[in-house]
Amino acid sequence: MTTTRNATLAVSGLVAAALVSGCGGGTPGSSSAGADSAYTLISALPKAQQRAKAEELTKKEGGALSLYTSMTADVATPVAKAFEKKYGIKVSVFRANSETVLQRVSQEVGAGKAGGDSVETDFVEMAAMEKNGFLTAYSGSGLDKVDPTGKFDNWTASRFNVFQPAWNTNLIKPADEPHSWEDLASPAYKGKLTLEISDSDWYENLTKYWLDHGKTQVQVDALWKAIVGNSKTAKGHTTMMQFLSAGQSPIEAMNYTYITDRAAQKGAPVTHLPADGTSTIPAFARPNGVGMLKGAKHPAAAWLFYDWLLTDGQQTLVDLGLTPSTKVAGDKSLKGTMLVPFDVAGLTKEGADWDKKYDQLLRSTAGK
């Protein structure tokens, strides 16, 4: 078993060679000078004038945008349509998992080919693109309502995926609901849990949370051994939710709350909240971010999409049941949850190590 997150580090490690061989060590993308000129022209203006200038330049570009994203199809399509409706810009979407998005950007940089304009994906891949010089800075008014923890040099958190257990209410009755992460280690859940094979970021955050709150490493290791021993594994959070909704799995050790909520809204007997509506399980909110690619064919459109996703687009995300990175009226995505900090810095630096640890845990313990 190999976690998909390992692919991110493999791609990142090859980036420097790709830049040298494909671009002679120069700036990514053959149209980089023109794109950088447009970005500079927009950012040089006062914030109040930047959006109008971007709209003006977009018309000269041809009114098109190429978006690379790891949003699921049922999110990416309405997001693209909402942006198209706002600005009349035709959006083409390349949708894949976050590792594949990074790989495609890396390959295009290495080939000196301008493909994508905007990118929206998981923080690990956004950080890798930032580190390797694929992204350019945005300084518009869209940043004004974003919490400082969601702002990075060349990308910004656009939404959050919130980690919580999820269960089928026909199979897990109120008396049997989990009320802590530790509960997942209970013998009562033997054979009832499902784990996703690439959730090393959840594993890292929960491990550090337990250690920071008084548990010893021996205690933490024992909890994980028991949790994995209670579990079977699956690939893909959407697939897991399909199994949960159909009653093929009683409880998921972790899924994203928006996936659970959307399934419930469609009538599935699933939830991530106990019967009283308030969870005592610490919820980790992982950022997904938006960025503008250097060398973009349509830099003004990329700027507008970035700006829109942090402003009007936040309401679109709320309408789709996602957790926005800003405060939006009517947002109930965090209702009943207890948020705790997500370790962006630690995973950015040590992600490969946690991939290996999680993979080894699943290999050594699952099914025993």
Could you please report the per-residue DSSP string of 119-165?
A: EEEEHHHHHHHHHTT-EE---SGGGTTS-GGGB-SS-EEEEEEEEEE
Question: Which helix (H) or strand (E) segment is 314 a member of?
Answer: helix 312-319
**In this structure, is residue 330 part of a structural domain?**
no
Alpha helices per DSSP H over 213-274: 217-229, 237-245, 257-265
Q: Residue 329: CB partners within 8 Å, gap ≥ 6? A: none
Residue 221 has pLDDT above 80, yes or no: yes
Q: Residue 210: CB partners within 8 Å, gap ≥ 6? A: 181, 219, 220, 223
pLDDT at 143: 97
**In this structure, is residue 248 part of a structural domain?**
yes
Tell whether 145 and 167 lie within a shared domain.
no
Tell whether 167 and 152 lie within a shared domain.
no
Residue showing tokens 């920071």: 212
Query: By the 8 A CB rule, do 31 and 295 touch?
Result: yes
Residue 12 has pLDDT above 50, yes or no: no
Q: Residue 198: CB partners within 8 Å, gap ≥ 6? A: 3, 4, 5, 235
Share of the chain residues as helix, strand and coil, in percent rounded to the nearest 5: 50, 20, 30
Residue 340 has pLDDT above 80, yes or no: yes
Mean per-residue pLDDT, 145-168: 96
DSSP states of 15-66 = HHHHHHHHHTTS-SSTTHHHHHHHHHHHHTS-HHHHHHHHHHHHHHHTSEEE
CATH classification at residue 262:
3.40.190.10
Q: What pTM does this model have? A: 0.85
Tell whether 291 and 279 lie within a shared domain.
no
β partners of residue 226 = none
Residue 313 has pLDDT above 50, yes or no: yes
pLDDT at 6: 46
β partners of residue 156 = 151, 290
pLDDT at 181: 98
Question: How large a percentage of the chain has pLDDT more than 70?
Answer: 90
Tell whether 108 and 208 lie within a shared domain.
no
Q: Residue 123: CB partners within 8 Å, gap ≥ 6? A: 157, 286, 287, 288, 289, 344, 347, 348
Tell whether 173 and 189 lie within a shared domain.
yes
**In this structure, is residue 14 part of a structural domain?**
yes
Residue showing tokens 């949850």: 337
Q: Residue 31's pLDDT band (boundaries 50, 70, 90)?
A: low
Mean per-residue pLDDT, 240-262: 97
Residue 27 has pLDDT above 60, yes or no: no
Tell whether 153 and 198 lie within a shared domain.
no
Residue 308 has pLDDT above 90, yes or no: yes
Tell whether 292 and 351 lie within a shared domain.
no
Tell whether 85 and 121 lie within a shared domain.
yes
β partners of residue 240 = none
Mean per-residue pLDDT, 219-223: 98
Domain total for the chain? 2
Residue 4 has pLDDT above 60, yes or no: no
Residue 135 has pLDDT above 60, yes or no: yes
**In this structure, is residue 66 part of a structural domain?**
yes
Q: Residue 35's pLDDT band (boundaries 50, 70, 90)?
A: confident
The string of pLDDT tens digits covering residues 259-288 is 999 999 999 999 999 999 999 999 999 999
Q: Which domain holds residue 219?
A: 161-285+336-365
**In this structure, is residue 112 part of a structural domain?**
yes
Amino acid at 75: V
Mean per-residue pLDDT, 338-356: 93
Tell whether 224 and 292 lie within a shared domain.
no
The string of pLDDT tens digits covering residues 108-125 is 998 888 899 999 999 999
**In this structure, is residue 347 part of a structural domain?**
yes
β partners of residue 160 = 287, 323
User: Which comes out higher in pLDDT, residue 32 or 246?
Assistant: 246
C-alpha to C-alpha distance for 61 and 303, rounded to whole angstroms: 12
Amino acid at 346: G
C-alpha to C-alpha distance for 166 and 162, rounded to whole angstroms: 12
C-alpha to C-alpha distance for 85 and 63, rounded to whole angstroms: 12
Tell whether 219 and 343 lie within a shared domain.
yes
Mean per-residue pLDDT, 20-38: 51
Which has the minimum average pLDDT: 16-30, 156-170, 352-366?
A: 16-30
Strands of 169-315, DSSP E: 193-196, 231-234, 251-256, 270-271, 282-293
Residue showing tokens 């630096």: 349
**In this structure, is residue 111 part of a structural domain?**
yes
Query: By the 8 A CB rule, do 121 and 70 touch?
Result: yes
Tell whether 248 and 308 lie within a shared domain.
no
β partners of residue 255 = 164
Tell whether 166 and 301 lie within a shared domain.
no
**In this structure, is residue 296 part of a structural domain?**
yes
